[in-house]
Structure 1
Amino acid sequence: MRLVALVMWVLVATTTVAAAQSYSKAAQYLIAKEIRAGCPAGGRFAAAGAVERDLNGDGRKDLILSHDRLSCKGGSSISKSCGMQVCTVKIYLRQGKLLRQKMDFLGGGVTLGPTNVPVISGYAHGGDAWAIRWNGRTFR
């Protein structure tokens, strides 16, 4: 039984990594972790749901993961990290070779603006718009 579970995990991880070849190793690890948390049978983030890009203007790629853009295999096609209107959104900033989580909140329709320190926007419960941006110390 353990062997079957290990083989299944390797297949899911391999599928995830193969789909994310352009991501850093730290991002690949976090993407795979979020897929396992949101989709017991495996799944895949759309490109807009797993974005590795500089979010704080330091020239290094950070990561934003939005579960509303995670499609699951098997019984339920949506992530377990989604409610009726919004899903988990996580923002990570690069510190050395690692990505450290800085925010975890509920939202949907996440987009990033074109500037060097992009405005990150989306919608909240009830469809209310929100927008945040790195201010040098935190996202506000």
Structure 2
Amino acid sequence: MSPVSLLLNILWVVLGGFWMALGWVVAAVIMAITIIGLPWARAAFNIATYTLFPFGQKAVSRDEHLGRSDVGTGVLGLIGNIIWLVLAGWWLALGHVVTAVILVVTIVGIPFAWAHLKLAGIALWPIGKTIVPA
């Protein structure tokens, strides 16, 4: 991780990134408790880590990254994302959008607000994504 990414990640954690990562962990734990929610729990834990340290990483589609489709990028992934959107995605995305609006008021918060908006999109459709170095 570059020094700039490290500094941005430290500021990110202090300025609200920790709370949103905690929201992702809560969603993952709730999904894991219901045994049928394990695929969503895995995706939520991966994105919780990304939410905690977003700078220096990016989320990409697994089929684009690996060059082949898998279960999460096909029809089952689509169904899984629709279920996720209804159960947890909308409130995680809402949390990211509200945090972005609060941060965009300050000049210093604009890069963090942009990161929250990218995470809001991922919150709506996380299945089939992988986190890679930027």
Higher gyration radius (CA):
1
TM-score of the superposed pair, with normalisation by structure 1: 0.29
Instruction: Return the TM-score normalized by structure 2.
Output: 0.30
Q: Tell me: higher relative CO, structure 1 or 2? Use CA pairs within 8 A at least 6 residues apart.
A: 2
Q: Which has the higher helix share?
A: 2
Higher strand share: 1
